Amino acid sequence: MPQLVEDPRAAAKRRLRPGPAAVALRPLGYLAIGLVWSVIWLVALLLLVGSVVYAVTDDALVDGLRDRFSTPGGTAAMVLVVIPVLTVVMGPVGAWQLPTASWPLAVLSFTYVARSLRPSYAREKLSYTSTAPRGTSLGPPTVGDVAMSLQPLRRSRFTDAVMRFYAAGWTLDGRMFVAMLPAGLAWTAVVVGLFPGVAAPVRVASLTLGGVLVVASVVLGVRAFRTRFPAVSRAVVLADGAS
């Protein structure tokens, strides 16, 4: 699986000097990449929050949910099928994996923009790509290994910290999956609390439950993150073998 390890070829990569054209164009290149990943991160957040707004304001959806819960069969289907699916989609996927798989890449890209404008970095490459075995990281199916790009060649405490989240966002981890399930269930609780026509006691109880579940996910998530990706004092990368 992708791991936080020292890449033995990082030092050799640092000695490679980029050409004049690369030095001149890479600020724009890294800026464009950073903007793309920023948009992806923003879309992920908007989908997470916007789905709540949509679920409680769209008249057709509101009426459909009322109809579902008006019959025992519909209620059972919602509780046994729909809510568990939403818990996974809105928790481990929506609240953690998608945002965490995007914002570290945006931050690293903007870091390289700043570095590319400094004369002290003009004689060296700024980032490199390593590969992770198939099935150990997120992303679409691939024929070969998965390319993990934008890893820093010159480490710092800041880039090491960002790389921990990079690795977490692109690695499948059972403990983090379980930790984010309460957050996914909180999504349903918040929707119930904001649903039109809900009695005041139910509204208060649902919103309170949603807040408690979010806090539980934060606590469990921090523990899972620190266990899987402890702080390190060496350069942090995702896999052996840069390319």
Q: Compute the distance between CA of residue 124 and CA of residue 152 in angstroms, rounded to an integer.
A: 11
DSSP label at residue 19: P
Residue identified by tokens 């024929």 is 143
Helix axes 103-116, 20-57, angle to 10 degrees: 150
Which tens digits make up the pLDDT trace of 66-82? Answer: 777 777 777 777 777 88
Could you give the CA distance from residue 17 to residue 171 in angstroms, rounded to a whole number?
31
Name, in order, each residue with C-beta under 8 angstroms of 135's C-beta and a sequence gap of 6 or more: none
The tens digit of pLDDT for each residue in 113-122 reads 999 999 999 8
DSSP 99-168: HHTTHHHHHHHHHHHHHHTSGGGTTS--EEEEEE-TTSB-SS--SSPEEEEEEESS--HHHHHHHHHHHH
Q: Note the pTM of the prediction, 2 decimals.
A: 0.80
Q: How confident is the model at residue 14 (pLDDT cuts 50, 70, 90)?
A: low
pLDDT at 178 exceeding the cut of 50: yes
